[in-house]
Amino acid sequence: MQAELGIIRLDLLFEIISGIIALMVTYYATKAYRLTGQKRLSDLSTGFLVLSAGMFGRVIGTWYFLAREPSDVVFGIVTVAYGVSRIMAYIIFVISTRPIHREPQEYDNAGISMLLMATFLVDPALEVIAIFFLVIVVLQAILNYMTTRSKFAWYVLVGFVLLLVSHIMMAQVGVAPGLYLLSQGAQLLGFLSLLVMLYQAGRDI
Amino acid sequence: MSKKRPYRSKMRILADMMRAIQSEGEEGAGPTKILYSANLSHDRLTQYLDELVEKELIKEMDPESNNRSYLLTEKGREFLREFVRMERFSEAFGIEI
């Protein structure tokens, strides 16, 4: 039991660090949006904000779960809310990082709203849905890297690939529980890659 | 089939103009140099130059002279540095600005 609690605490520490990095990306994307007026940067900022909110929600919810009498209801709510927030964030990433070759068109708001609403209708098998959307995000990141060959695009690609790996591992936890912490480690590495990108991009020429 | 020119936001056009001015160093850049480097029409050039001067991002070297030349101000240099940071960030996610 002590070992399990230790793993959970380490997992929460990883989650807090990842959440802070997600907030830093949110701040940077908002700053870039204010300077340039590019709507897609605002969407990116929203995506990372939703992601960090889900992470901190999970940390707080799990602490609540550990500190009080274990409750399947609370744990279930925390797990579903966490999964849904991540899927919403990945859908926003799919939209904001999609490749375009001309001036961005107005989004079909009704369509996007329905897509986001649909995430509330799924059951706890959320990892598979997250993997689906993250595969699209990774493919877009690959296309972007192939086009720009920039080291900044490379860090983002590595970050999203590691997030994808983390979800694939998480989906296997049922058959191999040891993958749980590895999954959290992969997620942390993914966010650290984004942190390196932020640092490199923020440096003076 | 002709290739479509990529969309440039107003902010990018202003940054391109400021880069053209910066590339000329202390000698400053004339309107023709800026026009060609930033790929602008004459009307747009005049409009944007006025805007940059008004925002104190660039300044005219000698307003009395017939040969106009522009220099970046300190505020302009800081703006350009910030723009480059945001440009790298956006490029990392495949977002054009």
Query: What pLDDT is stored for residue B73 in this prediction?
Result: 94
The model carries a pTM of 0.83
A41 contacts B97? CB cut-off 8 A: yes
Region of B64 (left: φ > 0; alpha: ψ -120 to 50; beta: rest) is alpha
CB nearest to A155's CB, from B90, B92, B97? B92
pLDDT digits (tens, 9 = 90+) for B22-76: 998 888 899 999 999 888 888 999 999 999 999 999 999 887 777 889 999 999 9
Residue A2, pLDDT score = 55
Amino acid at A119: T
Residues A60-77: tens digit of each pLDDT: 888 877 777 667 777 778
Query: Among all residues of chain B, which has the CA nearest to that of A158?
Result: B92
Q: Which of A105-114, A158-167, A171-180, B80-89 has the lowest mean pLDDT?
A: A105-114
> Which residues from chain B sit within 8 angstroms of residue A101, using beta carbons?
4, 6
Question: What are the residue ranges spanned by the domains of chain B?
Answer: 10-92
Contact A28 B96 (CB under 8 A): no
**Which one is predicted more confidently, A110 or B8?**
B8
In words, the CATH class of domain B10-92 is mainly alpha
CB contact (8 A) between residue A35 and residue B11 = yes
pLDDT tens across A4-51, in order? 556 667 888 999 999 999 999 999 999 999 998 899 999 999 999 999
Q: What tokens does A202 get?
A: 């923020």
Note the pLDDT of residue A205.
63
Chain A: residue nearest B14 by CA? A36
CA distances B90 to A37, A136, B13, B14, Å, are 12, 18, 16, 17
Over residues B4-9, the mean pLDDT reads 64
- Burial zone of A90 (CB within 10 Å; 0-12 exposed, 13-18 middle, 19+ buried): buried
Distance CA A170, CA A178 (A): 10
